[in-house]
Structure 1
Amino acid sequence: MNLQVQTFEPAAGSIPAAISIRNLSKSFSASKTVFSGITLDIAPGSLVALIGANGAGKSTLLRCIPRLIEPDGGDIEVQGQMVPRDGRSLRRIRSKIGFVFQKHNLVGRLSSLTNVIHGAQGRGYGAAAWSHAFAPSGIRAEALDCLDRVGLAHAAGQRADSLSGGQSQRVAIARALMQQPDIVLADEPAASLDPQAGDEVMQLFAALMRKEAKTVVFTSHNLHHALQFADRVIAIGGGKVVLDAPSRSLGETELRGLYG
């Protein structure tokens, strides 16, 4: 199969890329290079699916953007600002990046509302965002609104460990919204869910992100999700970008050939 790699770069004089990656590389040992020479530009307000076989490095690449994993080389810019290794500038940039994890990462013994309120910590609320009992009334109201947007306002007082998998991921999405990010990164957001719940969560997630004009990069093994919910599909293989194309120009059969 001959799939053409297309490079998406901002036109001269256009709005800066929401995420710009140049020559990024990462190895976990001298004998295991995850990827090298990765160069990408992600346009503001776009939804991008990052696909690839197990071990291809898509989750590692996603985590490198906010430096949750430190790359070995290359540059990362977010909204025109270089992402530093540490310090106040890194914290400021991270405050604009929401992250939705595959395993939800909720605190099970706490309520859905308190878990959502935790999303305000990155906005400088500190201890006031540890629990709904300490949070200002405005923050509690905002968290309830975030739960309402994912259809779970009725479960605000319910312990997180009593929720279904789909409900847990909805709370995780509400927590990311509570952060008020410009960019949302999601690592296999539907992978831990059954097919029906996974479809429902992805439909909700994509609709919310488009409505609020967020820039989104999500990893997925589900090719249907990649094609249905993303504007653009990027595939990683052999440590390189092997496909970068608009989703409307691709089909599932075509993408499955990347896993052969």
Structure 2
Amino acid sequence: MIIVRNLTKTLTDGQTVLSKVSFQVDKGEFVVLIGASGSGKSTLLSCLALQQRWTEGQLIVDGTELSDKKWGDKLKLRKEWAFLEERPALHPKKNALKNVFSGRFYQVPIWRKLTGTMSTSEHILAMDYLERVGLLDKAKMLPADKLSGGEQQRVAIARALAQGAKVILADEPTKGLDPESATKVLQDLRALCKDQNMIVVAAMQNLEMAERNASRIWGLAGGRLVLDIPARKLTQQEKHAIF
């Protein structure tokens, strides 16, 4: 369970990017955060991932308050949470399989981290995660040369699974993808919530896809959470509040 209370982010020039954002997310939920460009979506995800400091507020995970100032708390989240950027941060010189294996960074001995070698069991495990996102046949392909944008996002999801992530924060995971690829990425994320009881929070601008694939929709406008409902088709009034 994730609880956020009155999360506020104010810049040095006095501009408020996030204002008293509060919510609770339970295991198994696929939340899509909808908002216009500049609404604060990416900043909120970055704060949740402890990549940015906030000005006020609390982040409570499974009953324990975490701080963006404590090294131990950041290490805990890096082990158990995965942050998927708009453009997947895959190693360009490693194939899809080795990129997935890199998610095991905290579980393998130091010498394997340095050499990048995999045991037979680790190789099979990485292949299994690729198979879960439908990319077993792409295992030997390099990201930039052979994988589409949607396939790169799915490799990043497989890497998060290999990491053992309990929470995935995805910033615009479908931006720039064709409709078919975007739908596949969202279906993969929703399946993780249903099958593995994970929490996924994805920031997007595409409202129609959010309505079809999410289990819950948040609307963010001007740094404030203006909508928090079970996923369904939004009314014109609700759309107006967000956009």
Task: Give the TM-score normalised by structure 1.
Answer: 0.85
Within the candidate set 74, 78, 81, 1:97 is matched to 81
The root-mean-square deviation of aligned C-alpha atoms, in Å, is 1.9
Return 22-31 or 163-172, whichever deviates more.
22-31
1:169 — aligned with what?
Answer: 153
1:57 — aligned with what?
Answer: 40
Correspondence 1:80 to 2:63: yes
Correspondence 1:243 to 2:227: yes
Return 176-185 or 79-88, whichever deviates more.
79-88
Distance 2:239 2:52 in 1: 28
User: Which residue type is aligned with residue 168 of structure 1?
Assistant: Q
1:149 — aligned with what?
Answer: 132
- Is the Cα contact below 8 Å between 1:129 and 1:135 reproduced in 2? no
Shift of 1:252: 6.2
Shift of 1:57: 0.5
Distance 1:173 1:109 in 2: 18
Q: Count the aligned residue pairs.
A: 241
Distance 1:122 1:210 in 2: 26
User: Which residue type is aligned with residue 202 of structure 2?
Assistant: F
Give runs of aligned pairs for residues 11-160 of structure 1, distance below 5 A: 18-84=1-67, 85-123=69-107, 125-126=109-110, 128-129=112-113, 133-160=116-143
Secondary structure of the residue aligned to 2:5 is strand
- Is the Cα contact below 8 Å between 2:104 and 2:162 reproduced in 1? yes
Secondary structure of the residue aligned to 1:67 is coil
Return 83-92 or 172-181, whichever deviates more.
83-92
Distance 1:222 1:130 in 2: 41
Distance 2:83 2:111 in 1: 21
1:185 — aligned with what?
Answer: 169
Secondary structure of the residue aligned to 1:226 is helix
Deviations, residues 62-94 of structure 1 (Å, cap 9, x unaligned): 111121111111111122222122322331233
Return 164-173 or 134-143, whichever deviates more.
134-143
- Is the Cα contact below 8 Å between 1:233 and 1:245 reproduced in 2? yes
- Is the Cα contact below 8 Å between 2:189 and 2:200 reproduced in 1? no
Distance 2:111 2:5 in 1: 37
Distance 2:108 2:42 in 1: 27
User: Which residue type is aligned with residue 78 of structure 2?
Assistant: R
2:214 — aligned with what?
Answer: 230
**Any gaps of 5 or more consecutive residues in structure 2?**
none
- Is the Cα contact below 8 Å between 2:59 and 2:65 reproduced in 1? yes
Q: Percent same amino acid at aligned positions?
A: 33
Distance 1:241 1:161 in 2: 36
**Any gaps of 5 or more consecutive residues in structure 1?**
1-17
